[in-house]
Amino acid sequence: MQTNSFQKYLPEIIERVGRAASFPLDKRQSDRLAFYFSELLKWNRVTNLTGIKDMETLVIKHLGDTILLLKQIHSHTGTIKTILDIGTGAGIPGLILKLITPEFNMVLAEALKKKCSFLRFVVARLALKNIFVEEKSIGPANPPKHLPENGFDLIVSQATGSVRWFIETGIDFMAPSGSMVLLKGPAGESELKKNVEFLKKKGLCYDLIRTRLPILRHQRLLISIRQEK
């Protein structure tokens, strides 16, 4: 399918993903997502922003993964206002979360300049508020510039690194009542089991949510980590 004809087809794919995930999207959400994916496809022809080359698969996977995370956020008992996305890449899941739920205060951390340029372009064109793109590798010695006083309510990452790396990178920036959620494929479960003792030493507990990607039905794991009470 040619890029121009695919862009006309984008709203239909977005609507289909939302319907398959039982998460209907309104027109404003759909329009913003269509702009984002349209620009991602354009930029990806010039500079590599995502490894997924099939355009329809790209939308289904990136939007589907983000909706799975958003449904988990909605089931959270506390109030989530501030979110840090570590290693966001082309904005997955952080920027997509913001497009669907504008009230989130979002920090997107990404080390690669070309990806940050794309993120800033989308943020500017859509006039998004309370979202910050930080061009850096986040870590204990390199905190986010826009770190809330009490830490982030939620820290997320989509398969950016190992379970242990994710915890060590973000735990210092998590609010006492906050949580960290890592999106993984099926291999994440055995990786998590290898780090159970590490989690206990850090005073952390976890929930493992097994689910499937809308439409494609690929296995997904959401590893939710929080302080033990």
pLDDT digits 0-9 by tens, 170-206: 999 999 999 999 999 888 899 999 999 999 999 999 9
Q: How many CB atoms lie within 10 A of CB 23?
A: 19
Residue type, 37: F
Single-letter amino acid code for the residue at 179: S
To the nearest whole percent, how much of the chain has pLDDT over 70?
Answer: 96
CA distance 163 to 225: 10
More confident residue, 4 or 116: 116
User: What is the pLDDT of the chain when averaged over all its residues?
Assistant: 92
What integer pLDDT is reported at residue 229 of this predicted model? 73
- Are the C-beta atoms of residues 154 and 91 closer than 8 Å to each other? no
Going from N- to C-terminal start, the domains of the chain cover 3-227
Between 1 and 118, the more confident residue is 118
Amino acid at 164: R
Query: In this model, does residue 125 exceed pLDDT 60?
Result: yes
Return the beta strands (E) in the chain as ranges. 82-86, 105-110, 131-135, 152-158, 174-184, 204-212, 219-227
Residue of 167, 172, 139 whose CA lies nearest to 224 = 167
Q: Summarize pLDDT for 141-171 with one digit per residue, the tens.
A: 999 999 999 999 999 999 778 899 999 999 9
Q: Output the pLDDT for position 4.
A: 62
User: pLDDT at position 187, please?
Assistant: 87
- DSSP class of residue 90? T
Segment 24-39 mean pLDDT:
96
Q: Which CATH architecture has domain 3-227?
A: 3-Layer(aba) Sandwich (3.40)
CA separation, residue 36 to residues 43, 103, 199 (Å): 10, 18, 36
Lowest-confidence region among 73-82, 86-95, 161-170, 208-217: 73-82
What pLDDT, on the 0 to 100 scale, is given for residue 226?
A: 93
Find the range with the poorest average confidence among 48-62, 130-144, 145-159: 48-62
Q: What is the DSSP string of 39-85?
A: HHHHHHTTS---S--SHHHHHHHHHHHHHHHHHHHHT-SS---EEEE
